[in-house]
């Protein structure tokens, strides 16, 4: 059996496949035209943010499973996979600690203007510390939007490390750890000094941070997004930064044009990082091993525990 690896994964994941009797096939490029040209005799695929399209599915008659290396399944055409009898699963939680630590780092960096301070010093520009308004996070209020494995870890980190009051806005909450749940997003935004996004991207959550919601945000709040770019209306965020309603934003996910678009007008108040949240050696190994394990389960005729669809069985060629 073969598994097409659309984007590079940790060697421990590749070795897990080999040990289980599945040959990893490395895709030379992650675009769907190239994927379709290489997936024909594969029984499974592992993809990251490249996703997997209906056109690629049409070129994969043997495919049993599409495994997402990470949490977000929105780049995968799940309806097309379900119609063709292909399982779609992900690896939630395996990168939670790394993303949570990244979120904490971004929150502190935004509050204290660390990246801008570094740039100014390297450029020999003095006076930065007198030019801005910086803030502590200790004892203040954080709104965590999305209380899955990452969001819950972030909330506990912020509370334990900085003594922050934690508000939860999430339709799913297995354990609130004694923190307050807020049914209304606007109510939470009005109370929070720090807003941290950890919701999946769905039809309901797309653009949830928009003009109306930013109008409700507490003046001077900090926004951190380590979840999905589509959660934030970037033009509305730029307006909120311009009028001072949002103090700073730290974005690990954003549109391709964001670093040179409207948000580029705020170099001292907007931090861009290239989707580094889960990119640690520790996390990459855990996620790759989990993804490979799902491939082995599917290739053996089983259903991985994190399968998000339930396609009808079909006769494999």
pLDDT, tens only, 150-169: 999 999 999 999 999 999 99
Q: Per residue in 76-131, pLDDT tens? A: 999 999 999 999 999 999 999 999 999 999 999 999 999 999 999 999 999 999 88
CB 249 within 8 A of CB 223: yes
| pLDDT tops 90 at residue 72 | no
| pLDDT tops 90 at residue 312 | no
As beta bridge partners, residue 271 has: 250
Give the global pTM. Answer: 0.87
Per the prediction, the chain carries an average pLDDT of 95
As beta bridge partners, residue 232 has: 209
pLDDT above 70 as % of the chain: 98
DSSP string of 177-244?
TTPEE-S-HHHHHHH-SEEEE-----TTTTT-BSHHHHHHSPTTEEEEE-S-GGGB-HHHHHHHHHTT
What is the model's pLDDT at position 314? 52
Taking the C-alpha atoms of residue 189 and residue 191, their distance in angstroms, rounded to an integer, is: 5
Distances (CA, A) of 62 to 40, 48, 59, 80, 258: 7, 20, 9, 15, 39
**In the structure, what pLDDT confidence band is assigned to residue 65 with cuts at 50, 70 and 90?**
very high
List of domains in the chain: 2-94+280-299 (3.40.50.720), 96-272 (3.40.50.720)
Q: Per residue in 269-284, pLDDT tens? A: 999 999 999 999 999 9
Q: CA 52, 57, 58: angle at the middle one, nearest 5?
A: 145
308 SS3 class = coil
- The set of catalytic residues is 228, 257, 275
Nearest of 52, 45, 66, 57 to residue 84 by alpha carbon: 57
């Amino acid at each position: 059996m073969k598994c097409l690896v659309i984007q590079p994964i940790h060697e421990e994941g590749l070795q897990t496949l080999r040990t289980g009797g599945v040959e990893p096939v490395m895709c030379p490029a992650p675009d769907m035209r190239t994927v379709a040209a290489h997936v024909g005799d594969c029984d499974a695929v592992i993809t990251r943010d490249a996703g997997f399209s209906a056109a690629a599915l049409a070129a994969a008659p043997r495919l049993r499973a599409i495994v997402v290396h990470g949490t977000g399944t929105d780049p995968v055409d799940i309806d097309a996979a379900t119609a063709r009898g292909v399982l779609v699963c992900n690896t939630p939680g395996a990168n939670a600690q790394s993303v949570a630590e990244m979120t904490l780092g971004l929150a502190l960096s935004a509050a204290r203007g660390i990246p801008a301070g570094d740039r100014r010093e390297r450029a020999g520009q003095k006076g930065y510390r007198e030019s801005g308004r910086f803030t502590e996070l200790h004892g203040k209020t954080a709104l965590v939007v999305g209380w899955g494995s990452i969001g819950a870890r972030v909330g506990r980190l912020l509370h334990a490390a900085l003594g922050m009051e934690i508000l939860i806005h999430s339709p799913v909450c297995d354990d609130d750890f004694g923190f307050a749940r807020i049914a209304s997003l606007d109510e939470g935004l009005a109370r929070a000094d720090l807003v941290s996004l950890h919701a999946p991207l769905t039809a309901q959550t797309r653009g949830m941070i928009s003009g109306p919601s930013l109008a409700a945000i507490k003046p001077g709040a900090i926004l951190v997004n380590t979840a999905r770019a589509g959660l934030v209306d970037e033009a509305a965020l730029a307006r909120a930064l311009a009028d001072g309603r949002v103090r700073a934003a730290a974005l690990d996910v954003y549109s391709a044009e964001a670093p040179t678009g409207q948000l580029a007008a705020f170099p001292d108040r907007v931090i861009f990082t290239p989707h580094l949240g889960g990119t640690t050696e520790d996390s990459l190994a855990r996620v790759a091993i989990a993804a490979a394990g799902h491939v082995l389960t599917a290739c053996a005729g089983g259903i991985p525990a994190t399968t998000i669809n339930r396609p009808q069985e079909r006769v494999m060629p």
